[in-house]
Structure 1
Amino acid sequence: MRKLTGPPSPWPLLRPILGPEGGYVMDADTILDAALAVAAERGWRDATLSNIAAQAGCGLADVYRHFPSKGAVMRASVARIDAAVLSETGAAGEEEAFRDRLFDLLMRRYDALKPHREVIRACWRDLRRDPLASAPLAPALARSMAWMLEAAGAPAHRPLDLLRVKLLAGIHLSVMRVWLRDDSEDLGRTMASLDKALKRWAPMLEGRRC
């Protein structure tokens, strides 16, 4: 079994597992990176857990310890982006407008996704052809958008907040379509699309009437 040296991942969901001799076995981040590489080459629909294991240089058992399904890989990939965005986010302050804070959070998310844009383009095409394959993504997306609202200063984990979470998810997916075609260095088209959407919907997202 391959062992890796170094400290555990700072993200609890992606923490490596201790092997029987006390060393770290193949960690989740390495497997996720391998999954992205396979998806870029084959597309998400044709990627298999065996392909991912081969790309990571580990056995299927190592993959299974972290990700018992392709859906789990997809959800963990989203969670890793969430963690990267939230790690740079402080507590919401009253001095900053909700809309501005949410704008910054989502743009930070697109910046974090930028190195993986070609992979996301390939996956986006596959998921459009096979909508059922996107089913594992729905709860992960809802969780992500709930955390973006919370980080911006709006409660989003109560039952009645679900509509606002769904609204933000719709905005995010709409802006993502622009982002996928926006090859500018400053993501100007993406910023314009997001700003336009938030100008219209920020009061409702915050819990106030439009």
Structure 2
Amino acid sequence: MARKTKRQRKAQPALPRGTSDRDKAIDALMALLAEHSFEEIGLAEVAGRAGLKLSQLRAEFGSTLAIFAGHMKDIDRAVLAGGDADKGFEDLAEEPARERLFDVLMRRLEALAPYKEAVRSVMRSARRNPGLCFALNAMAVRSQRWMLEAAGIGASGPRGALRAQGAALMFARVLAVWVDDDEPGLDRTMAALDRGLASAERWVGFLDDLCAIPKCILRGPRRRRRARDEEEAEAA
């Protein structure tokens, strides 16, 4: 059965944006994505929806993909701000790592809620377009590094990179459930996230063992070299 978090889940309004050209462009792209596939949207369409000249749009972004990356960055910032502007994620400090990441990722889904149709559209396009899929994966990995750090889970170094990639793949599977989950409590989504985190815990355990292998491999030659040096010293 899906786990309930301590916080009351509720629908969130769209991200509060200013009136800058950057914000107008991002809002325009997300609105267009709710109506069209990613590959159908050109920069001229974005500029027109945003009420900008192409020169103004170019001053902010170089491509529609860059505009979408700007949106993902805004989502990251909304999640990292947390529910309390002063305490951030201090309310999760005493929770196990899995619980902390569960809550952080549920906050991410809350921030994404106003853009569900746009997310559905992008995911559909990514299944048809390998290049877009790879680009979105790179963005997702970058975002998940921040989510892991927010949950107090290390995301630096080779091990952190693998954790972030695993989290990105896991969250993509959760999103596939979430876009079709219309229940207010998001029970199916939370169940999918719970299963994904359980699998991730097993993966991290395997990863810890795997990362120890190079140390063992290096330790062997050192032992043999030390033994050989001792033998040569005795012979002398």
Q: Deviation digits for residues 2-23 of structure 1, max 9, x if unmatched? A: xxxxxxxxx9xx9x8xxxxxxx
Q: Is the 8 A contact 1:45 1:133 kept in 2?
A: no
Aligned partner of 2:229 in structure 1 is none
Q: CA deviation at 1:92?
A: 8.1
Equivalent residue, structure 1, for 2:190: 191
Mapped pair 1:116 → 2:115: yes
Rounded to whole Å, the distance in 2 between the matches of 1:141 and 1:127 is 13
Q: Which residue in 2 is equivalent to 1:175?
A: 174
Does structure 2 retain, via aligned residues, the 8 Å contact 1:45–1:127? no
In structure 1, C-alpha distance between the alignment counterparts of 2:169 and 2:123, rounded to whole Å: 15
Cα offset, 1:71, TM superposition: 1.8
Cα distance change of structure 1 residues 136 and 197 upon mapping to structure 2, 3 Å threshold: closer
* Aligned partner (choices 25, 29, 41) of residue 23 of structure 2: 29
1:104 is paired with a residue of what secondary structure? helix
User: Could you say if the C-alpha distance between residues 134 and 69 of structure 1 is closer, same or farther in structure 2, counting changes exceeding 3 Å?
Assistant: same
Q: Distance in 2 between matches of 1:119 and 1:41?
A: 8
Secondary structure at 2:172's aligned position in 1?
helix
What are the within-5 Å matches in structure 2 for residues 22-171 of structure 1? 26-88=20-82, 89-90=88-89, 94-171=93-170
After TM superposition, where is structure 1 displaced by more than 4 Å over at least 4 residues in a row?
91-94, 203-209
> Any conservation in 2 of the 1:92–1:151 contact (CA below 8 Å)?
no
Unpaired runs of 5+ in structure 2? 1-15, 83-87, 210-236
Higher relative contact order (CA 8 A, sep 6+): 2
- For 2:39, what is the secondary structure of its paired residue? coil
Give 1:161 deviation, angstroms.
Answer: 1.7
Q: Normalised by the size of structure 1, how large is the TM-score?
A: 0.81
Instruction: Kindly indicate which of the two structures has a greater share of residues assigned to helix.
Output: 2
Q: Deviations over 1:134-170 (max 9, x none)?
A: 3332221111111111111111022332111111111
Letter in 2 for 1:130: N
**Residue-by-residue CA offset, 1:33-87 (whole Å, 9 max, x unaligned):** 0011112222211001110000000111111111111221121111111111001
- For residues 50 and 179 of structure 2, what CA distance do their matches in structure 1 show? 27
Partner amino acid, structure 2, of 1:97: P
- Offset at residue 28 of structure 1 (A): 1.2
Which shifted more, 133-142 or 183-192?
Answer: 133-142
Q: Which runs of 5+ in 1 are unaligned?
A: 1-10, 17-23
**Residue-pair matches, total:** 189
Q: CA deviation at 1:93?
A: 5.9
Whether the 8 Å CA contact 1:85–1:105 is kept in 2: the answer is: yes
**In 2: Cα distance, 1:128 partner to 1:196 partner:** 23
Shift of 1:114: 1.0
Rg larger in 1 or in 2?
2
- Of all paired residues, the percent bearing the same amino acid is 36
- One-letter amino acid of the structure 1 residue matched with residue 98 of structure 2: R
Relative distance call for 1:92 and 1:131 in structure 2 (3 A) is farther
* Matched residue SS, 1:42: coil
Q: CA deviation at 1:106?
A: 0.5
CA positional deviation for 1:204? 4.6
Aligned to 2:3: none
